Amino acid sequence: MNESSSAFQQIVDAYRAAVLAKDIEAFVALYHDDVHVFDMWGAISLRGSAAWRAMAADWFGSLGSETVVVDAVQVESTQAADLAFGHALLTFTARASDGTVLRSLVNRVTMGLRREDGIWRVVHQHTSAPIEPGSLKAILQPAG
């Protein structure tokens, strides 16, 4: 990986590209075989690349001709030797084939990465959104 940017930033950039291309292989390749994901959607957690692949196949397959653009802000990370940790706010924007925005939401993401044989992979991922106390509904759009 390019030494001028963090391992986390490079994973985020590759994640963005894989999601936009709906490339399941590129997406799953970012994750360790024994990845543990606490995701917001459906299952409370997913363990292993097979489960993560199935989630990606369902997600990308549900999009039809839509694409999803992922933007990352408030990206922060630290790394030492073969471990890295980072977090960001990710905005997922679904677009129709003509570019029209269909929907958008914001997730918080935290990832733990490990480098093995010179390759950084996500070993743990946690996505979340704040919960509105009165309704107990996830807040998927920031205020303002």
The per-residue pLDDT for 144 is 63
Segment 98-109 mean pLDDT: 95
d(CA 88, CA 17): 16
pLDDT digits (tens, 9 = 90+) for 11-48: 999 999 999 999 999 999 999 999 999 988 878 899 99
pLDDT digits (tens, 9 = 90+) for 48-66: 999 999 999 999 999 999 9
Residue 61 sits in a domain of what CATH number?
A: 3.10.450.50
Question: What pTM value is reported for the model?
Answer: 0.91
Q: Is residue 141 part of a domain?
A: no
Name residues whose C-beta falls within 8 Å of residue 114's C-beta, 6 or more positions apart in sequence: 32, 82, 83, 84, 120, 121, 123
List the domain range (segments joined by +) for residue 46: 7-128
d(CA 40, CA 127): 6
Check if the beta carbon of residue 8 is closer than 8 Å to that of residue 113.
Answer: yes
Helix, coil or strand: residue 117: coil
Q: Is residue 116 part of a domain?
A: yes
Q: Is residue 75 part of a domain?
A: yes
